[in-house]
Amino acid sequence: MFEKFSKSVVRGVHEAVREAHLAQSKQVTEEHLVYGLFHHPDAWIPRMLGHRITRDDVRRTFGRAHRNGGISATEIASLRQLGIDVGPLVADLEWRRDDDREPSPPARRRRFSKPHLPFDDSAKLALEGALAEARQRGDRKIDDRHLLLAILRRGGLAAGVLAEHDITYQSMQHHRG
């Protein structure tokens, strides 16, 4: 499947793997793919957004969502509109997460190579969705826009985090790569 990806997407996926290694994650996630989309200032997404949103901005928004039990501010606002008070829910999720957290082993330095990290289900679905987005548009190559649209279409935490920066499926559909 990777032969259909543009060079920019391949670089972004490599950057996502690097991000996962730096975070000492056991898997490459959709969150790491989002960081990969912002891998370089000349990448399509930062250019298309006029460089007004950076990877660090997105990283801070993900951090805030993780502190809220994995719920983005966009999702919190939607739940509040439905009359659901998320405060106790977030506190309970934080308490449970702290209890379930195992101490992480010290990072082992490898001299020549890093261990292979698998892609989790959300990342796999995003990559498959990028292929579907390209096919739907009649494009031969999968570019950054297709991956972004796939992440946004799926919904979930990554889409909620991006929505906090006014990056939604509807707003990005008609931008060209």
Q: Dihedral sign for Cα 168, 157, 162, 124, please.
A: negative
Q: Between 154 and 91, whose confidence is greater?
A: 154
Q: Determine the residue type at 12.
A: G
> Would you say residue 152 lies in a domain?
yes
> Would you say residue 40 lies in a domain?
yes
* 16-36: b (≥16 Cβ within 10 Å) or e: bbbbbbeeeeeebbbbbbbbb
Per residue in 92-136, pLDDT tens? 766 555 544 444 444 555 555 677 899 999 999 999 999 999 999
> Would you say residue 107 lies in a domain?
no
pLDDT for 24 equals: 92
Beta bridge pairs of residue 28: 119
Alpha-carbon distances of 40 from 9, 35, 45, 46, 87, rounded to whole Å: 11, 10, 9, 8, 36
Kindly report the CATH number assigned to the domain that includes residue 141. 1.10.1780.10
> Would you say residue 75 lies in a domain?
yes
> Would you say residue 24 lies in a domain?
yes
* 46-77: b (≥16 Cβ within 10 Å) or e: bebbeeebebeebbebbeebbebbbbbebbbe
Instruction: Look at residue 138 and give its three-state secondary structure.
Output: coil
Q: What's the total number of domains in the chain?
A: 1
> Would you say residue 153 lies in a domain?
yes
Cα 141 to Cα 135: distance, rounded to the nearest angstrom: 9
Q: What is the mean pLDDT of the chain?
A: 83
> Would you say residue 177 lies in a domain?
no
Residue numbers of the domain that contains 57: 2-102+119-172
> Would you say residue 148 lies in a domain?
yes
Beta bridge pairs of residue 119: 28
Report CA Rg, the chain.
17
pLDDT > 70: what percent of the chain?
82
